[in-house]
Structure 1
Amino acid sequence: MKSRINKLLKPLGYELDQLDERPYWPRARAKRIDRPFLFLLTPAGSGSADIAWYMSRRSDIGGLHHSFEGQRLVKGLMDSDRWWPEKFVDYEAVLGAWSRRIAEADPEGRYAWWLEKSPANMVRHRQLLEYFPNHRVVVNNRGPVANVAAQVRRYLFKEYHGAHRPLVVRHLARIWLWRSRLLMQAVRDHGYPCLSYEAFCRRPAAIAEAFGLEPLPLVGGDDMPPGAISSSGARTGPDTARQLTEHEREMVVDELSGASEVLQFFGYDLATELAAEDGGEIGEPHLRAVAADGSRSGDAGAPS
């Protein structure tokens, strides 16, 4: 019965809570994972489900979970404090759970890469990546109005039930800014390539290029435009911003009026955001700068 209800609620971004009897940190343990990993540092509501769906159509890329979020395999990574940068994380327990899933899902080693995009990775990527000697990283962001709209749709009832919607909109705008600053710092500190969801929608193949992957045929035929229906069943394309009223879009813009450095870094314009049009092409100057010296940002041995 619960599965039927969840099937009806899933397109709306809701689901019934299920009792999780797993240990907080898994008992299996590992000290490192040698399999090559692709980490997408991405906020919630960023269209990353579409990016993962597109990447998964390559026969050489696998995922730890059907959502490509390994956090879902570890109860401790799904707690309400997962966004706290100083949260204690038993990394050897996390690696143990992930190693076990890799062994179960790919015993023959057919995947050349594993894609991992748990949003909260952005607050602890420095520590996490130390356990992956072979990895590459790409930063993904999305225009603030569209991002807030996507999160209002997904979390208003589930996480903010009973709250006044305008207060939620303003809170999510501040969260966008906080997360964007984390991503900006990651790019500045490590030289990670950036790619916006808007730029991905215009040219999906850009994500493989950002990861430094050779182009390969996609499973299932020719390229298809993403953004219509994501793997979660919710609309995440460029029109998502229109799900906010004009007044709500104005509230988002007002909250970000003093954040010119972050907006300019990611190529977003408040006037464009207010009109709920597509955002700028995030991070492409960074991508060109990294490529110019012949290095691959995110590989083991990249600047840290």
Structure 2
Amino acid sequence: MVHHNRWSENKKIDAEAVRATWLKRVARIRRAGAPVDYIMEKSPPNMMRHRLIAGLFSECRLVCNTRNPYANVASMAFRYTDYAEQDESGRREICERIARKWVRCAGKIRQIVQEEGCPLLTYEQFCEEPQAIFRAFGFDHAVLSRVSTERAVKVKDHAVQTITNMNQRQIARLDDASIEAVRAVIAPHGDLLDFFGYAEDPARAQA
């Protein structure tokens, strides 16, 4: 149910089964003695059915998030494909495919922000001020006082570190042909880039 055709907006989801699975997980954690105040659902494909997900619970808060397209492509290419083993043509094809997905997802995120009026917090804004995520969710001072944004954390395959903007490091891993492949895909979508505050020029898009 979860993996088949998960990016389709028309995918059939058993909403009650999803809700039951989450609540069973919460109950298991609580039985182990740990408190659970919030459930965070952040699976990217679920942006395609955000209203269904939001409707599973009596109270929910939506926050939209995206990332610089060049950095997103680089991260996805090295983490989920054989980009490093491909020739130039293969690397271009991979980057074009991921860039097209970024355009599609960015368009959906903009739609959600505009239709639902929910906060938008980009990856770059989050890295600049991690506390902003709590304000975006509307958490009060009592919650903020229990959370440290200065702790070193393990993210994917990076070294343990404090929250750090990895854009420049990620983009630098793409060769020139790949950069141009991404640019060719995103250039016709200047309205999307403007909406999120990104630039077509990768040298200016890394912040």
Please report the TM-score for the alignment, with normalisation by the length of structure 2: 0.85
SS in 2 for 1:111: coil
> How far 1:269 moved relative to its partner?
0.9
Corresponding position of 1:84: 8
Q: Return the alpha-carbon distance in structure 2 between the equivalents of residues 94 and 176 of structure 1.
A: 26
Q: Return the alpha-carbon distance in structure 2 between the equivalents of residues 164 and 249 of structure 1.
A: 13
The counterpart of 1:223, out of the listed 137, 150, 154, is 150
Corresponding position of 1:260: 190
Contact 1:145 1:241 in 2 (8 A): yes
Confirm or deny that 1:105 pairs with 2:29: yes
Please report the TM-score for the alignment, with normalisation by the length of structure 1: 0.59
Contact 2:64 2:113 in 1 (8 A): yes
> How far 1:277 moved relative to its partner?
2.1
Q: Return the alpha-carbon distance in structure 2 between the equivalents of residues 165 and 110 of structure 1.
A: 46
**Larger strand fraction of residues:** 1
Q: Return the alpha-carbon distance in structure 1 between the equivalents of residues 205 and 199 of structure 2.
A: 11
Aligned-residue Cα RMSD (Å) equals: 2.4
> How far 1:225 moved relative to its partner?
7.0
Which consecutive residues of structure 2, in runs of 5 or more, have no partner in the other structure?
160-164
Give a deviation string over 1:257-304, Cα, whole Å, max 9, x none: 110111111111112x245621xxxxxxxxxxxxxxxxxxxxxxxxxx
Q: Return the alpha-carbon distance in structure 1 between the equivalents of residues 179 and 47 of structure 2.
A: 26
Counterpart of 1:204, as a letter, is P
The count of residues paired between Structure 1 and Structure 2 equals: 194
Segments ≥4 residues shifted beyond 4 Å = none
Show the 5 A alignment for 1:126-165: 126-157=51-82, 164-165=90-91
SS in 1 for 2:64: strand
Corresponding position of 1:169: 95
SS in 1 for 2:65: strand
Identity of aligned residues (%): 30
Contact 1:146 1:240 in 2 (8 A): yes
Confirm or deny that 1:95 pairs with 2:25: no
Corresponding position of 1:46: none
Contact 1:144 1:173 in 2 (8 A): yes
Distance 1:225 1:255, change over 3 A: farther
Identify the range of structure 1 (126-135 vs 177-186) with the bigger mean alpha-carbon deviation.
126-135
The counterpart of 2:126, out of the listed 179, 193, 200, is 200
Show the 5 A alignment for 1:1-304: 76-79=1-4, 81-107=5-31, 110-157=35-82, 164-214=90-140, 215-218=144-147, 223-224=150-151, 229-230=154-155, 232-234=156-158, 237-238=166-167, 239-271=169-201, 273-274=202-203, 277-278=206-207
Contact 2:199 2:205 in 1 (8 A): no
SS in 1 for 2:139: coil
Give a deviation string over 1:159-182, Cα, whole Å, max 9, x none: xx9992211111111110000000
**Larger helix fraction of residues:** 2
> How far 1:246 moved relative to its partner?
2.4
